[in-house]
Structure 1
Amino acid sequence: MRFPVTFGFESVEPVHYFFEVLAFFVGVRLYYYLKKRTADPISNINRLWILVGAMLGALLGSRIIAALETPSQLFEMTWLTFYQNKTVAGGFFGGLFGVELVKKIIGEKNSSGDLYVIPIIIAVFIGRIGCFFAGITEPTYGIETTFFMGMDLGDGLKRHPTALYEMMFMLFLLFFFWKIKKVELINGDRFKLFMVLYFLYRFGVEFLKPFEPLFFGLSSIHWSALFIFVYYVTFIKRIFKRVSQ
């Protein structure tokens, strides 16, 4: 395979865009499929508002975290560049707080995230196919390596195929959540577990990618992950206590 993969197009952008749209479409359809087969404690109108909060939060969060990935260029960034740059981790980060804000406004007390876990995993997997095909034209590639999985992503160097790593991690998460589907957990714990595991992965894999430090040698993705760990510290302690019993 030669990167970037264009499938006959002049550039990789149509290919990447196709997988982004496909990821969104499949994720939404899968969410509604699961919702019909789940006793949802949240009313349809509240669920709609929560979805709006998630999408707006993800839209904003993905752009802000992406912009902070290159702090040296922050004040040279145009609005177009700001909008075009995005990161999945930032989308999850912003989506989480968009949901929490909307729930406070509408007075919804029930946890709302468990229904999203499997659709998110599938959507990320599909979206990363486009990132993988994009090679070095998409800022998800890794640093140069002698690791046996190193690939020439379009610049003649063997690099970590970090988009492929994330696809493999999504398959692991899919298998993991399938295995624990009958485990009794508090409503909302599956989403919290997904967030902790995903950001734990992102914290580690960011060291395999070229990044520009934001503070203390860590990137905006690293700091987002650390914030998530602090935000869910009570949940993490509870899970560790249950596992260790």
Structure 2
Amino acid sequence: MIDNHTFPANWGIFPVIFRIGKLEVSSYSFFVLLGLIVGLSVYFLLARRYKQASENSFYVVVAGVVGGILGAKLPYWIFNYQVIVENYPNIGPILSGRTITGGLIGGTLSVIYIKRRLGITDKKGNLFAPAIAIGVAIGRLGCFARGCCYGEPTTLLCGVNFGDDVLRHPTQLYETVFFIGFFIYSLIRIKSAPPGFLFYALMNSYFILRFFEEFIRYNDQFFWGLSFFQYISIVAVVFINLKQYLEKTQHHGRLLSTKR
């Protein structure tokens, strides 16, 4: 699999955002951390505003963050284990490389697990959606600055040279625009949307976008002309819609039982 997180010298738009003495702070790490902080802040601000803050919220958020971090790292570790082994004991390759698809899936599965484990039934999806959207939008700026997750060569005016004198699709910015748009949409709909609707809408729309985006992303074909992340996107969309359907069916069944 193509490693989009190992770079030649002078690669990226501005890989180092600032220096403190001899310490270099990478743009990638800076924007990922900033996105996490802003995303969490948005979630807790919305929870307080709409009076949905609770002790359960804390456990769900922690599960989502931990699951998201592990999910974001796991695909990179699996597909680049040789790089990790060859560079041992250097932990640089272990810490580098993340994937948003893995983060979203890992975070979602962790939240599902902790809610079932603790018997939490209240839905916070409409609060999570804008928080995730703005967090990822900011994080993708780090990908753009570092020059990872880039696209195929293009002749369009939006093409960007990441360091090899080839104009490429800035797929990182495409996603930033998408997530900012969804963030605005979710804030508009947060009062009127049914419980959990915005989260399902975010996941569905992103994985559909990611499926088609992969055709212009610089990635290996995995099987039948599709990339690994296209198959992940298909599975994710099926899982999300199946879960949403089952929840609606169960809710409808409970309403019928109550009426009887």
- Shorter-normalised TM-score: what interval? 0.7 to 0.9
Note if contact 2:190-2:198 (Cα within 8 Å) is conserved in structure 1: no
Structure 1 stretch displaced more, 5-14 or 123-132 = 5-14
Flag the 1:56–1:214 CA change in 2: closer, same or farther, 3 A. farther
Aligned positions, number: 229
Q: Give ranges in structure 1 of 5+ residues lacking alignment.
A: 240-245
2:54 corresponds to: 44
TM-score normalized with structure 2 length: 0.77
Amino acid at match of 1:144: P
For 2:108, what is the secondary structure of its paired residue? helix
* Aligned-residue offset at 1:114: 1.6
Equivalents in 1 of 2:109, 2:186: separation in Å?
23
Query: How much has 1:112 moved relative to structure 2?
Result: 2.7
Cα 1:226–1:144 shift into 2, 3 Å: same
Match of residue 46 from structure 2? 34
Whole-Å separation in 2 of the counterparts to 1:131 and 1:173: 19
Partner Cα separation in structure 1 for residue 169 and residue 186 of structure 2: 27
Does the CA contact (< 8 Å) of 2:137 and 2:176 recur in 1? Answer: yes
- 8 A contact 1:65–1:221 mirrored in 2: no
Distance in 2 between the 1:238 and 1:109 partners?
11
Q: Deviations over 1:185-208 (max 9, x none)?
A: 2x1111111110111111111221
1:27-176 equivalent positions in 2, closer than 5 A = 27-40=39-52, 44-68=54-78, 70=79, 73-74=80-81, 77-78=84-85, 80=91, 81-135=93-147, 138=148, 140-176=149-185
Distance 1:82 1:15 in 2: 18
Contact 2:154–2:169 (8 Å) recurs in 1: yes
The reply on whether 1:19 has 2:31 as its aligned counterpart is yes
| 1:152–1:231 distance in 2 versus 1, CA, 3 Å | same
The answer for unaligned runs of 5 or more in structure 2 is 1-10, 249-260
Offset at residue 224 of structure 1 (A): 2.1
Q: Distance in 2 between matches of 1:156 and 1:15?
A: 21
Give the 5 Å matches for 1:192-231. Answer: 192-231=200-239
Residue identity in the other structure for 1:59: I
| 4+ runs deviating over 4 angstroms | 7-13, 73-76, 236-239
Output the TM-score relative to the length of structure 1: 0.81
Kept in 1, the 8 Å contact 2:18–2:25? The answer is: no
Query: Over alpha carbons, which structure has the higher Rg?
Result: 2
| RMSD (Å), alpha carbons | 2.8
